[in-house]
């Protein structure tokens, strides 16, 4: 088994190889002046089991095409097994037809990857678990929230926090539940959020939260504009929270997201290396190790 480092996740791929104690495949890639992608395996990969590490954060269309090129080339050259590790699986919010005639882009991506001939895909904190059903090969979601909350406890001295999901979707609840378990059963709750399908504007319903004098950690899969986390932070502060942290898996941080959250009372935002960002403090590489070969022996 060997790891292929995709252009979007070079550092993460090195960490994955380290965690799995396997080597990295020699490869080279570049973009031509007109933007087209060039990729080459610099060693023979026929008969080899490969893990392609390529997170699909913005510019997502570029990163997707890079992944398709690498996977297709691996298949074409006779790799015996192709596993994709795409911690941020782009287009997972376009998971169904919310308005008549809409494209289901997550399904399109799944169909192309399966047609190329990948054998399995692993992702982290996918927005909607239903997207995994579009894959005709084993597709797994890994949960990063236990790693994230442990970081706050171990590196920020946060003790007995209150965990808050900024919306009450199934995956969001699962994330706070898992994080709560990791900290021995700390309290948690979820807010109710609604999005206008035409304008994209969100509204979070205020709720009584027992957080007076407590540190709140808002757990979310994605921070894009920061609006969702800012709303949750404002409500937490109004309910008397002492400090408010945001622990997010995929920090896309568009525009003034960090400023927006800071103005809403957020003390710190911490994220994973699924998306390299100024807030990145945690690696998702151990999650893949755990999924493939189990937890490290202590």
Q: Would you name the residues annotated as active-site residues?
A: 193
Find the binder of ligand R5P among 66, 95, 220, 273 (CB under 6 A): 220
Find the binder of ligand R5P among 94, 123, 141, 224 (CB under 6 A): 224
Stretch that binds ligand R5P, among 61-69, 114-122, 131-139, 215-223 (CB under 6 A): 215-223
92 scored as a contact of ligand R5P (CB under 6 A): no
227 scored as a contact of ligand R5P (CB under 6 A): yes
247 scored as a contact of ligand R5P (CB under 6 A): no
Find the binder of ligand R5P among 48, 66, 125, 167 (CB under 6 A): 167
Nearest-angstrom CA–CA distance, 37 and 59: 13
Find the binder of ligand R5P among 79, 223, 251, 269 (CB under 6 A): 223
- Beta-bridged to residue 24, according to DSSP, are 3
Site string for ligand R5P, 115-154 (x = CB under 6 A): ------------x---------------------------
7 scored as a contact of ligand R5P (CB under 6 A): no
Contact footprint for ligand R5P (CB under 6 A): 127, 166-167, 202, 220-228
């Amino acid at each position: 088994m060997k790891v292929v480092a995709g252009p979007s996740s070079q550092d993460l791929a090195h960490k994955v190889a380290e965690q799995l104690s396997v080597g990295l495949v020699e490869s080279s890639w570049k973009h031509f002046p007109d933007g087209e992608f060039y990729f080459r395996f610099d060693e023979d990969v026929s008969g080899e089991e490969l893990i392609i590490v390529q997170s699909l954060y913005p510019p997502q269309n570029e990163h997707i095409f890079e992944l398709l090129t690498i996977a297709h080339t691996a298949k074409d050259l006779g790799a015996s097994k192709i596993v994709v590790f795409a911690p941020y699986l782009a287009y997972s919010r376009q998971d169904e037809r919310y308005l008549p005639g809409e494209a289901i882009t997550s399904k399109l991506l799944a169909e192309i990857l399966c047609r190329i001939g990948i054998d399995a895909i692993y992702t982290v904190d996918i927005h909607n678990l239903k997207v995994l059903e579009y894959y005709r090969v084993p597709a797994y979601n890994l949960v990063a929230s236990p790693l994230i909350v442990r970081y706050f406890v171990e590196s920020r001295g946060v003790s007995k926090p209150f965990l808050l999901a900024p919306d009450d979707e199934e995956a969001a609840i699962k994330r706070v539940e898992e994080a709560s378990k990791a900290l021995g059963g700390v309290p948690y709750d979820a807010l109710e959020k609604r999005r206008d399908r035409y304008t994209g504007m969100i509204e979070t319903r205020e709720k009584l939260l027992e957080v007076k004098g407590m540190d709140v950690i808002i757990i979310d899969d994605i921070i894009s504009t920061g609006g969702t986390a800012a709303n949750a932070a404002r409500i937490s502060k109004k309910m008397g929270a002492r400090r408010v942290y945001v622990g997010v898996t995929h920090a896309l941080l568009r525009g003034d997201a960090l400023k927006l959250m800071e103005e809403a009372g957020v003390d710190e935002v911490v994220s994973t290396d699924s998306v390299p960002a100024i807030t990145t403090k945690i690696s998702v590489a151990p999650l893949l190790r755990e999924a493939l070969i189990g937890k490290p022996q202590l």
